[in-house]
Amino acid sequence: MAPLWKAGAALAALREELSGDVFAPQDPGYDEARAVFNAMIDRRPAVIAQCADADDVVRTVRFARELDLNVAVRGGGHSVAGMAVNDGGVVVDLRRMHAVTVDPAARAARVAGGATMSHLDRATEPYGLATTGGRASTTGVGGFVLGGGTGWLDRCFGLAVDNLLGVELVTADGSRVHASADENPELFWALHGGGGNFGVATALTLRLHELPEFSLALLLYLPEHGPEAVRTYREVIANGPDEAAGGVIYLTGPPEEFVPEHLVGRLVCGVLLTYAGGEDDMRKVAQPLLALPHEAEIVGPMPYADLQCMIDDPPGMRNYWSAEYLAQAPDDFVDVFCARAGSMPVPTGTQHVLFPQGGAIAAGPREYPVPYRDAPWAVHPFGVWEDPADDERCVRWVRDVRADARPWSTGAVYLNFIGDEGDDRVTAGLGTDNTRRLAELKRRYDPDNVFRFNHNITPA
């Protein structure tokens, strides 16, 4: 730890040199600056640097190194474990760096490191272009992509990392490097799942795809019809084209216009069939689901970017999430999955989700550290609630879901869907051989583990 006089002088210099703002605990705005999506996280960094550009990031990393402080990187602040903030360290806050530049001819977008999904989707939409994004508009593109990235378009366009063309990075010694298939290819490989372990991504270049039309069927079923709805959805996906995606979501019926009174505040089984194409084709695929008795529906065309912000979770809630990736989802699994919905804490914001994979995810490049690629289904329970008195029952329910799913699990997991579940789960999220290779690269790029507020890879 640096002596106080040195820390004070360095902080004053940082305030002077940075184009963006700097917050220390005594500054007005500090509490707002340290708040993240998950209200269970309450950490007090020594310094939060709201960087305005890549030079600010370099200065902030060098400042942290000079004072021997650890660095947390904040993009959208959505990490459920609160990895965007630390206690007593430096936060490189990228939220001001959110520009997205679309090159329609090259079918590519350069996305600044602090942009959210909504910045990306709204920038590409006017060109009829899109790429795999997360399912909430406020998630940071940086954390999402570097961790793998799944969303409504992944069965069509692959994981987000499959669309990564280049990364502009500030490394632990404050250097700026570019990683792509041609430049620093080993580092580029590591950024396909290795998250924020290797530095601060000040910009990412992503491949875009044509998406002229998008449509969906969102259907709500009574819980007693859940098993039939889930089995039907499973068959629709198994027999349908890669354009079809979505998921099964048990949730508390929300007070929305399309939800009838008798479902509001009660457990409902929702099936969302998203379709990267027009309504007529979508209806043909969704027909078996539409034929089942359901209580509410939204069926028709919808701009993709609109769906992206339709189910945004509000900030300020308490969150605990986990996930298991399944080798298969046979009927006995479906029965267990649906039965567990019966003990879901209701009414809360908690959701019990089954996502399909397959399609372009399964057909994607084999070499990256994303070992969950081959699993056809993912169970993703997320506990979302308001009252701290519910902490224990909500966390327990999420753990119960995981325990239920384990007999069908491949053992691999997508790290962006889980909190801090220990080193073995990090290895499960990267693959054993990949973890070794990543640890060697971590030693090369961050031997002191300055970037440790992530699903951490210990330097070899």
Ligand X SMILES: Cc1cc2nc3c(=O)[nH]c(=O)nc-3n(C[C@H](O)[C@H](O)[C@H](O)COP(=O)(O)OP(=O)(O)OC[C@H]3O[C@@H](n4cnc5c(N)ncnc54)[C@H](O)[C@@H]3O)c2cc1C
Q: Which residues bind ligand X (CB under 6 A)?
A: 37, 72-79, 83-84, 94, 113, 134-136, 139-140, 142-144, 146-147, 149-151, 195-196, 200-201, 313, 416, 453-454
Among residues 205 and 416, whose Cβ is nearest to ligand X? 416
Q: How far is the CB of 98 from ligand X (least distance, A)?
A: 11
Cα–Cα distances in angstroms (integers) from residue 410 to residues 375, 402, 431, 458, in the given order: 7, 12, 12, 24
Among residues 116 and 232, whose Cβ is nearest to ligand X? 116
Q: How far is the CB of 254 from ligand X (least distance, A)?
A: 15
Distance of CA 251 to the CA centre of its chain: 20
Q: How far is the CB of 330 from ligand X (least distance, A)?
A: 25
On whether the CB atoms of residues 48 and 25 are closer than 8 A, the answer is no
Angle at 399 between CA 394 and CA 400, to 5 degrees: 95
Angle at 35 between CA 31 and CA 41, to 5 degrees: 120
Strand, helix or coil at 179? strand
Q: How far is the CB of 198 from ligand X (least distance, A)?
A: 8
Q: How far is the CB of 152 from ligand X (least distance, A)?
A: 8
Cα–Cα distances in angstroms (integers) from residue 341 to residues 252, 332, 416, in the given order: 11, 15, 23
User: If you write DSSP's letter for every residue of 147-169 in order, what string do you get?
Assistant: H----TTHHHH--GGGGEEEEEE
The amino acid present at 354, given as its one-letter code, is L
Query: What does the block give as tokens for 222?
Result: 């009574």
Query: Which among 97, 4, 90, 96 is positioned nearest to 48, based on CA atoms?
Result: 90
Among residues 196 and 253, whose Cβ is nearest to ligand X? 196
Among residues 191 and 279, whose Cβ is nearest to ligand X? 191
Among residues 140 and 376, whose Cβ is nearest to ligand X? 140
Among residues 113 and 364, whose Cβ is nearest to ligand X? 113
Size (the chain), residues:
460
Cα–Cα distances in angstroms (integers) from residue 264 to residues 222, 240, 290, 310, in the given order: 12, 31, 21, 17
Among residues 337 and 453, whose Cβ is nearest to ligand X? 453
Among residues 91 and 232, whose Cβ is nearest to ligand X? 91
Q: How far is the CB of 18 from ligand X (least distance, A)?
A: 17
Among residues 151 and 226, whose Cβ is nearest to ligand X? 151
Within 10 A of 136 (CB to CB), how many other CB atoms are there? Answer: 20
Q: How far is the CB of 414 from ligand X (least distance, A)?
A: 7
Among residues 142 and 227, whose Cβ is nearest to ligand X? 142
CA distance 254 to 100: 33
Q: How far is the CB of 291 from ligand X (least distance, A)?
A: 28
CA distance 264 to 107: 43
Query: Which among 23, 76, 72 is positioned nearest to 50, based on CA atoms?
Result: 23
Q: How far is the CB of 97 from ligand X (least distance, A)?
A: 8
Q: How far is the CB of 429 from ligand X (least distance, A)?
A: 12
Q: For the chain, what is the largest distance between any 2 Cα atoms, rounded to a whole number of angstroms?
A: 72
Strand, helix or coil at 47? strand
Burial of 290 (0-12, 13-18, 19+ CB in 10 A): middle
Among residues 115 and 279, whose Cβ is nearest to ligand X? 115
Sign of CA dihedral 353, 143, 126, 364: negative
Q: How far is the CB of 224 from ligand X (least distance, A)?
A: 28
> What single-letter DSSP state applies at residue 201?
E
